[in-house]
Structure 1
């Protein structure tokens, strides 16, 4: 099922999204924060089975969207969400054919009950996985993790102005992230004294804001825990491990070249973004009764990973330079001279066990490094 939520308040929007996802396992939820954004979503992919629409918006009235939807579909469920509770407002909205009216502040239990009655059950097995992926492409804008990668990327974009204390305050309710950062801060690589690090703020201070943000991004991109299908879950873990390995190798190369490793790590972590998104959608497909075999999964990933990855890169507003570095993990034109791209391609080959290949050795020479026959971390020597 595809649902469109039009709500300018970020917290209310996230709450509505959570309720919809809880009612309908595998729902594709598109969240718009303005009337114009919702209109654009309808223009690009107007097939939704549920609408939750706020009345008062920064750029107009949610009733305008209600009128547009009802002009083409008299039956699709539309729930108006508004701070207006007077009888005149309710009647005015009802005149335009809404299916329900919920007032703010939201009563989650009431909302759950109303939506459960409105949202029809999904008949299993409709269409193929390929058709499902095609239909879902324009509505998939996030990965199913507890931490939104878009939020982490936004923080990364302004990391120079963030302090450990500010990050600690922002993340104080994120139990999984806190545990991860404490584990990293207490590892041999970062621990500075014999006394263990016990607070989130101290953990971030120990490793630095940039490293803490990259650890948060790695966790945000780990979708395996939110995928129910065992086969798809195993693939999600494998792709996440691949991304982590590329990130680690890119970090090593960057440091040997005397460069800040942060952007190289990020490119590595994001290098399997499309595959993760495809697996998320395939999990929704199976949750709604669709069936898959191993060859179909591989075919879908091969056909759709790039499209879904590009969709997320645009939605998350990734800088063009970062997108190019991510792309170099998978393909590098022979005439490419940008050092950051050469590093990412070399890191991908090393992570894939191809460090001895002619391509990898040639790339290392082009960036002024050579691969030493050693299993230690510092295995890249700078050529004089």
Structure 2
């Protein structure tokens, strides 16, 4: 760590029940103070235990914490009667005057409503964690001498942040602004090709806090469920993380190949689904997300390189072959993507025994078309089990390939 000024490292407690909001808050704190010592929890009793053990420089707590709500937690903190009142930001979904008046006697440092105003919260954090004119920069921690690439990737598999971003988040948000604010239709239009944005927003809207009657499986549905502000918060939060964009030219070239395969599969899946009167949007996103594991490996390889590890194309190829599928499976499980969507993604790679849904067959065929070595192979593909089950012949496949082929 290199500090422009000599600063005491701040300790921050984040108590937030929603996984994605908790992660966003963590990234916002680290964007202001990359050296901050963070403790995070999702329940009130756990937060109270931590507060009794440690005098944090800042507490950020949600009003609806399970067990002990954020307001009661603030009340208990104030009853500790420390010599200096503990800075405490209370987050709430309620902005009515009665709720605000109830909190005021407990002197919260800030009472902020959800969805969060990221710029406003960032200014608060800067005021609380930095003095005027002060700044902190942090070096990437070096690898231990005994760490191997295989060991590093094995370690990161259960905690990786997903794929790198393929679009410029700030440009997307700017382009999506309409005459009366953010236009969700435009946001979907400009962001729908990015697997990381699609996966994260679909996962976020399906989180337990949303209590949806049916799982959401497309970006458009996710944007409507989250709303404009929360959608933008989550999208912008993705850009705050380490290696959100691939800066190494070789890794970026590998990622372009993965994105291209994802998009081809997504477009073929959508077109085939349309021909067969199936769910076009769901098939599109199954295709778009199916290379998340390989993309996540590439992102972790950049982290390895930034930490001082050596890397060449042979190592990249071997890492993708060994870890791509495992990373994808781990991400889909950890992010709790809808089972139906995960089944379609699995069908892209392999059709197991038993009865197949027509959409699973569509995705399996879409992947085969996307990976055809040449247009001349269309007739042989029409003889495949998947094409025969769907009753898609060589003429339909030839038209499909021609329709999706880029113009010269």
TM-score, scaled relative to structure 1: 0.60
Residue 238 (structure 1) aligns with? 257
From 149, 152, 171, the equivalent of 2:199 is 149
Please name the residue that 1:368 is paired with. 391
Q: Does 1:356 align with 2:378?
A: yes
CA distance 1:169–1:294, shift in 2 (3 Å): same
Q: Residue 7 of structure 1: which of 15, 18, 21 is its match?
A: 15
Per-residue CA distance 1:53-89 (angstroms, 9 max, x = gap): 47xx644132535899x9xxxxxxx865257586946
Contact conserved, 2:332 with 2:342, CA < 8 A, in 1? Answer: yes
| Inter-partner Cα distance in structure 2 for 1:120 and 1:63 | 33
Give the structure 2 partner of residue 315 of structure 1.
Answer: 334
Q: Report the Cα offset of residue 8 of structure 1.
A: 0.5
Which residue number corresponds to residue 62 of structure 1?
47
- Report if the CA contact (8 A) 2:12-2:57 is conserved: no
Shift of 1:307: 1.9
TM-score (norm 2): 0.57
Where do 1:165-176 residues align within 5 Å? 170=228
Unaligned runs of 5+ in 2: 2-10, 62-73, 90-109, 111-120, 170-196, 207-213, 404-408
Report the secondary structure of 1:361's partner residue. Answer: coil
Contact 1:253 1:347 in 2 (8 A): yes
The DSSP-based 3-state class of the residue aligned with 1:51 is strand
State how far apart, in whole Å, the 2-side matches of 1:81 and 1:340 are. 47
Aligned residues: 295
CA drift of 1:350 comes to: 0.5
Inter-partner Cα distance in structure 2 for 1:294 and 1:60: 49
- The 2-side partners of 1:303 and 1:319 are apart by 25
**What is the aligned counterpart of 1:132 among 152, 156, 161?**
152
1:108 aligns with 2:108: no
Distance 1:110 1:8 in 2: 22
Q: Is the 8 A contact 2:292 2:328 kept in 1?
A: yes
Q: Give the direction of change, closer, same or farther, for the CA distance of 1:133–1:298 in structure 2 (3 Å limit).
A: same
The structural deviation recorded for 1:347 is 0.8
Aligned-partner Cα distance in 2 for 1:343–1:333? 14
CA displacement, residues 228-248 of structure 1 (integer Å, 9 cap, x when unaligned): 221111111211110110011
Distance 1:299 1:269 in 2: 23
Find the counterpart in structure 2 of residue 122 from structure 1: 141
SS at match of 1:369: coil
Alpha-carbon distance change, 358 to 7 in structure 1, aligned in 2, over 3 angstroms: farther
| Equivalence map 1:1-384=2 (5 Å) | 6-8=14-16, 13-20=23-30, 50-53=37-40, 58-62=43-47, 64=49, 81-82=59-60, 88=80, 103-104=88-89, 105=110, 107-109=124-126, 113=130, 122-124=141-143, 126=145, 127-145=147-165, 146=169, 147=197, 149-153=199-203, 154=205, 157-158=215-216, 170=228, 226-333=245-352, 337-353=356-372, 355-356=377-378, 358=380, 361-362=383-384, 363-372=386-395, 376-377=399-400
8 Å contact from structure 1 (residues 141, 315) kept in 2 = no
SS at match of 2:290: helix
Q: Would the alpha carbon gap of residues 102 and 357 (structure 1) be closer, same or farther in structure 2, given more than 3 Å must change?
A: farther
Further displaced range: 345-354 or 5-14:
5-14
Q: Distance in 2 between matches of 1:171 and 1:375?
A: 43
Unaligned runs of 5+ in 1: 28-48, 71-77, 94-100, 178-218
